[in-house]
Structure 1
Amino acid sequence: MLFTPVKPMLLTMGKEPTNHPEHLYDIKWDGWRILIHKQGNRIEAYTRHGNQVTNQFPELQEALSHINKHTAILDCEGVVLRNGNSVFEDFAYRGRLKSTEKIRKAMITHPVTFVAFDILATDKPLLKETLIKRKQYLKDIITPSNVLLATPYVIEDGQTLHTLTKEKGMEGIVEKPLNSLYHLDTRSPNWLKHKHFKRLDTVIMGYKENPFTMIVGSTFSNGKLKPVAQVEFGFNPEDKQAFRGIANRLITKEENGVFWLEPLLCCSTQYLEKTSKNMLRITSFKGFLPEKKVEECVFT
């Protein structure tokens, strides 16, 4: 398992968290899932898809001295923190860099922190240890620093943490049973992510098939209507049928598989966050807004 790509255990989308006395709750950080492998002075990092990304993050060399164990495999989220919040776009920028010189400069403008939330092994596998024991192992072997830290957690009081992270504009929280084991390459129905989604009233500007996708937009302060998202999820068959019946009469042109429409229809779009380029990230359809006027769908 050491220095070999492994597929980590994944989460399932939850609804509202409960205050379960046998559950553990920690912060849902927004970056890339990174597994750090360490043995002696050797350290390597892999994404959840098995890509080796060690050279893209020189911060790992500093992290070596903060792992107080000869051998360890840590399950982490790689993040760039801004005022205590993780910014996905900033970490994704770091992940795209290949040039040594650009990476060196980005270490100053986009410094990376690896937030560890689980441990798969030390000098022995820990997959069959309970989560609460693995959390203790993690706490014992990490010296917190700017490049590596173990995420804090609470037991039972998930609703308070959920409210706190929402107030601070964070992505959400994670809920797991204290006695849960670690199963590689598994999406667990008992490991839940509770995200803080938002909604925006948007204009349907176009659509495409295979897969069915709506292109939605908003009116900006300069009065222009611009696309803000391509929405693939949240539609049921009735939504699609009703939409196609109306959209066929509104098509203005077809271009590269996109049917552009006269902007007369509005819908509610759920999203996780807005990017610096004014696009919505992690979106889903939440219903038509037949009474909504296009000019009221403003990007706020």
Structure 2
Amino acid sequence: MLFSPIKPMLLTMKPEAFDDKNYIFEPKWDGWRILIHKQGGRIEAYTRNGQNVTAKFPELESVRESIHTETAILDCEGVCIRDGRSVFDDFQHRGRLSQKSRISHAAETHPATFVAFDVLYDGADLTGKPLYERKERLAEIIEPSDVLVPTLSIEGQGISLKAQTEQRDWEGIVAKRLDSKYSLDTRSNQWLKIKNWKQIDTVILGYRRELQFGLIVGLQFPTVQNKPVAVVEFGFNPEEKRAFLGVAKQLHTQEAKGVQWIDPRLCCRVQYLERTERHQLRIVSFKGFLFDKIPEECRWIS
């Protein structure tokens, strides 16, 4: 288990927050799932897909001082905090770098923090222990620092925590049964994620013919009109897709690289999780056509 790739326990999506004394609730951090392995002075970090990313995060050198046990495997979220919230784009940027000088510079401009929420190993395998025991052990062995911190957690009160994350524009919350064991490489219904979705009205610029059908949607910016911001692949029913294709063929302009572009006259509402620094929407789904909306009203909101 130690210093080898581990496929962590994953969460199941749930639409609504809830209260339950049998659950612990935590903020959902927006970064990369990272498993930190320690033995003596040796520290290594792996992604959920098993990639060793230790060299990308020189901050990890200080982590060994914050883990007060000889041997450990911690389940964490690697994040970059900006203006009080984790910014996925920033950590994604860190993860892409491979040149040593650029990595060192980014550690100064986009410092990484590892938010620990579970411990799998401390010289003995802890995955068979209930969550509340693993949480107690995690609190014993971590000394919080700028680089490694335990996650905030509360028992029983998911609805109020969800409301707080919405106010702070965080990603959402996680709900975990207090008695849950840690099942490797499993998407468990005892661990739940409840996300803070947002909606925006967009103009339809075209649609993808190849691979999976998807709408190309855009928004109006102060200096750019009808800029593409997302490909929407999910949320349609067959009737909506047929109706759209029937109308769209009257608006065809040009086709290129598997995309049929149309005259931008139709609008639709989409649901998304987050907006990137490059003005793209992440994790997008279709919510409905807007026949009374005009494209000029579909604007990027700063």
TM-score interval, smaller chain? over 0.9
- Looking at structure 2, the residues matched to 12 and 239 of structure 1 have their Cα atoms a distance apart, in angstroms, of 28
Residue 295 (structure 2) aligns with: 294
The within-5 A match list for 1:7-18 is 7-18=7-18
SS at match of 1:20: strand
Residue 48 (structure 2) aligns with: 48
- Looking at structure 2, the residues matched to 285 and 190 of structure 1 have their Cα atoms a distance apart, in angstroms, of 28
Indicate how the Cα distance of structure 1 residues 227 and 62 shifts in structure 2: closer, same or farther if over 3 A, else same. Answer: same
The within-5 A match list for 1:85-124 is 85-124=85-124
The number of residue pairs the alignment matches comes to 300
- Looking at structure 1, the residues matched to 214 and 226 of structure 2 have their Cα atoms a distance apart, in angstroms, of 19
Question: RMSD over aligned Cα, in angstroms?
Answer: 1.0
Residue 255 (structure 2) aligns with: 254
**Letter paired with 1:67:** I
SS at match of 1:52: coil
SS at match of 1:244: helix
Unaligned residue ranges in structure 1 (runs of 5+): none
The within-5 A match list for 1:272-291 is 272-291=273-292
Question: Which TM-score applies when normalising by structure 1?
Answer: 0.98
- Which runs of at least 4 in structure 1 moved beyond 6 Å after TM superposition? none
Question: Which TM-score applies when normalising by structure 2?
Answer: 0.97
The within-5 A match list for 1:1-300 is 1-209=1-209, 210-222=211-223, 224-300=225-301
Identify the range of structure 1 (270-279 vs 260-269) with the bigger mean alpha-carbon deviation. Answer: 270-279
- Looking at structure 2, the residues matched to 46 and 181 of structure 1 have their Cα atoms a distance apart, in angstroms, of 21
Deviations 1:241-275 (A, max 9, x none): 22112112211111000000111111101111211
- Looking at structure 1, the residues matched to 52 and 69 of structure 2 have their Cα atoms a distance apart, in angstroms, of 22
- Looking at structure 2, the residues matched to 130 and 189 of structure 1 have their Cα atoms a distance apart, in angstroms, of 15
Unaligned residue ranges in structure 2 (runs of 5+): none
